[in-house]
Amino acid sequence: MQTLLVRLKPYDPRRGCVLRRFTYRGIKFHEERGWYRVDKEVAEYLRGVRQVPGDKHAALAFDVCTEAEAQALDAEHEAAATTRKKATEAPVATPEAPAVTTDDLEPPGGGGRRGARSK
């Protein structure tokens, strides 16, 4: 009996991946649980499942791979996530504030306020 690995594609509405759960032949597939090992005939059916039922132009719902392909796909996603982490950990670049000197300050008592009452 030949088996393949399948998983729901990660949730990403911008790319049309909106399914988080799917049930077929009593097997419940959850996006957050990752890979499932299934029979070849089940895998072949899942290979054609779309994110939106009945829409032949919608994105495919499942990744269907051999074990080697699944490991390569996981490594690729992990490398991309590491790159994103490093980019988000970068310090925020802000323009340097100009230095304030005593020449920039108003002299005490010399620059009275407008509308101030004098008694």
Per-residue confidence (pLDDT) for residue 1, from 0 to 100: 64
The better pLDDT of the pair 113, 19 is held by 19
pLDDT in tens, 35-84: 889 999 999 999 999 988 888 899 899 989 988 998 888 888 787 777 66
Q: Are 68 and 79 in contact (CB under 8 A)?
A: no
Where do we find the tokens 């988000």?
88
Q: Are 20 and 8 in contact (CB under 8 A)?
A: yes
Residue 60 burial by Cβ neighbours in a 10 Å radius (0-12, 13-18, 19+) = middle
Where do we find the tokens 């490093």?
86
The better pLDDT of the pair 101, 28 is held by 28
CA-atom Rg of the chain in angstroms:
30
Residue 96 has pLDDT above 70, yes or no: yes
pLDDT in tens, 8-28: 988 888 888 888 999 998 889
Per-residue confidence (pLDDT) for residue 49, from 0 to 100: 92
The pTM for the full model equals: 0.61
